[in-house]
A = this chain, B = another copy of it.
Amino acid sequence: MSDTEMRAGEVALPFDPAETTFAGVIRIGQLSTPWARGNCPKYLNQARDRGGVFQAHVDMPFRPALLGLEPGMTVVLLYWMGQARRDLLVQAPAHRSEPTGTFALRSPARPNPFAMAVVRLVAIDRESGVLELDAADAFDGTILLDIKPWLPSIDMPRHTEK
């Protein structure tokens, strides 16, 4: 845990969730970005506006799994925010007027520190495992966990009333 300081209104778990894990995650690669602590955009569209070279590097054993991904496709990346604390339940980010529950925030601090980004594949080289992305909002070297095709038929909310 990088930090245990609390702001007014914040609530933390009484235990360290990293001690109650039931299964493990593996690295499939990592992100290459211009960002480090101090200059990292908070949201993907800020990253897109600031520009730069954004890549996902897929580790050798997993490259066969890239078959079928093509430039122009939109994908969902899932990655691991390993520097974030996992025990915060209610957070008081500077941009919010009131403390807010972790599950209503996109903060990297969460019980399972997954981040999710919907990005466009600009180019892909399956040999070297390098995917050029239109944006990425995570630190350079962030561990990649999964790549999924983004499908409008299931990944857009339905507006019908139930």
Contacts and interface: CB of A to CB of B under 8 A. Distances in A.
A58 B48 CA distance: 34
A25 B18 CA distance: 7
A112 B69 contact: no
A124 to B, nearest CB: 10
Interface residues of A, number: 72
B66 A145 contact: no
24 contacts: A11-B64, A13-B62, A17-B26, A18-B26, A20-B27, A22-B24, A22-B25, A23-B24, A26-B86, A26-B111, A62-B89, A64-B90, A65-B110, A67-B99, A69-B103, A76-B116, A103-B149, A106-B148, A111-B146, A112-B146, A114-B146, A118-B155, A135-B158, A150-B157
Interface of A: 11, 13-15, 17-18, 20-28, 43-45, 48, 58, 61-62, 64-69, 74-76, 78, 80, 82, 86, 89-90, 99-106, 110-112, 114, 116-120, 122, 134-135, 143, 145-151, 153-158, 162
